[in-house]
Every structure is written in C-alpha cells, then in structure tokens.
C-alpha cells in the first residue's frame, strides 16, 4: 500500500480566521496536534464565541456554497441518467 502525502499551504490569516470561527477542518487539525511545520513566527488563534448574527452569516454562506454545488451535481446526474434510460429502456423491451 502506498501512502500519499500532500502538502497544504494556507496563509496564517486564513487559518486563524477559520480557527476563530471554529471551522471544523482547521479546528480538528489543531485539536489533534497535527502541525508539520511551524516557523514559530505566528501563533494559532483560539475560538472566539460567535454572535448569533455571525453564526447565521457563516451558515448561510456555507449553505449557498454547498446547495449550488449539489444543484449542479444533480442537474448533471439527471442529464446523464436520463440519456442512459432513453438508450437502455428500448433495449430491455427488445430482448429475447
């Protein structure tokens, strides 16, 4: 089995903003103590309690991102699925 290692390089201000918002990806990495390289020049931020308004804004932005991606996926899936059905269905009735 081959282990593939990928490097993720993210600016510290992006990481710290995500940590302050308690975004799960970065929070899980910090909680797990996963730190492959730290120059020592920067500190990781801690979670700051978010106001209900801020949490709502983050939730709405996440929803919009994931909903639009799901909508595109569904449209593509339907297109391919319908083409396959239109092709396969007549074959089913013409089989011996």
20-59 pLDDT, tens per residue? 888 888 888 887 776 656 677 878 788 888 888 988 998 8
pTM over 0.75: no
Q: How confident is the model at residue 76 (pLDDT cuts 50, 70, 90)?
A: confident
CB 18 within 8 A of CB 25: yes
49: tokens are 């309690």
Q: CA-CA distance, 21 to 24, in Å (whole number)?
A: 9
CB 16 within 8 A of CB 41: no
Q: CA-CA distance, 27 to 18, in Å (whole number)?
A: 8
Burial class (CB in 10 A: 0-12, 13-18, 19+), 26: buried
């Amino acid at each position: 089995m081959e282990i593939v290692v990928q490097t993720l390089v993210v600016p510290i201000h992006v990481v710290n903003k995500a940590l302050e918002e308690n975004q799960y990806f970065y929070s899980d990495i910090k909680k797990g103590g996963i730190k492959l390289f730290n120059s020592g020049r920067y500190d990781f931020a801690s979670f700051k309690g978010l106001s209900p308004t801020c949490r709502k804004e983050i939730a709405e932005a996440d929803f919009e991102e994931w909903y639009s991606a799901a909508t595109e996926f569904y449209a593509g899936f339907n297109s391919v699925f319908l083409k396959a059905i239109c092709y396969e269905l007549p074959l089913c009735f013409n089989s011996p």
